[in-house]
Amino acid sequence: MSGTYLTEEEQIEILKKFAKNYGPSILLGLFIAVAGLFGFRYYKERQLHIRTQAALAYSQLINSAVSNKPKQMKRQANYLIKEFANTPYASLAQLLLARNAVDNKDTKLALTQLQWVIEHSKQQPLVAIARVRTARIELANKQYKQALATLAKINAKSFSAVKAQVQGDVYTAQGKTVKAKAAYALALKDIDERATIKPVLEMKFDNSAA
């Protein structure tokens, strides 16, 4: 063969040298790639398993709440919060516990549970719900400045109507009718036409204008 071509024996020899020099690195790279692939698949399957278990636990929690079994509901909620803290269901459980605390006139406990959602939830709609409920409790406790400060932290556009409504309620409680009217007007502007609360908002707006 000419000098520009290698014999079969020469090609084999080059491959042997290549394998000797670079083989371990290639094998390590392949091992890391395969391990990473299986690790990612395991992670995804693990996350799916966790979400499924959390969803089941939350379903059982709701059944207890609907069946009016408060002790069982609290036990299931605390289990969900402890075991599945990084899932949205933990925040939903805290919101349910907070509502139950308010029903039992324990607003201090409710505020603690709502604060947990604000600090831990990665779902902004759930955080916004917790802030709205916190502001309503602060309004009921006549902590008007604190309620307005809590509402000011809500930036989600989808909550602009309910945010403005509660702001209007705070201003009404303070006797600031002009600000209350403006807040209710904003709420009416942003609210869905089909919202069942719209007639209530219109009444509040009319009363603030009186």
CA–CA separation, 101 vs 94, rounded Å?
10
Which amino acid, residue 20?
K
Do 117 and 127 touch, CB atoms closer than 8 A?
yes
Residue numbers of the chain with a pLDDT score lower than 70: 1-50, 209-210
pLDDT tens digits for range 138-177: 999 999 999 999 999 999 888 999 999 999 999 999 999 9
pLDDT the model gives residue 66: 84
Instruction: Locate the domains of the chain by residue range.
Output: 24-122, 147-210
DSSP run (H or E) holding 206? helix 198-209
Q: Concatenated DSSP letters for 110-156?
A: HHHHHHHHHHH---HHHHHHHHHHHHHHHHHTT-HHHHHHHHHT---
Q: How far out from the chain centre does Cα 40 lie?
A: 24
pLDDT the model gives residue 27: 54
pLDDT the model gives residue 196: 82
Q: Is 68 helix (H, G, I), strand (E, B) or coil?
A: coil
Full-model pTM: 0.74
pLDDT tens digits for range 115-124: 999 999 999 9
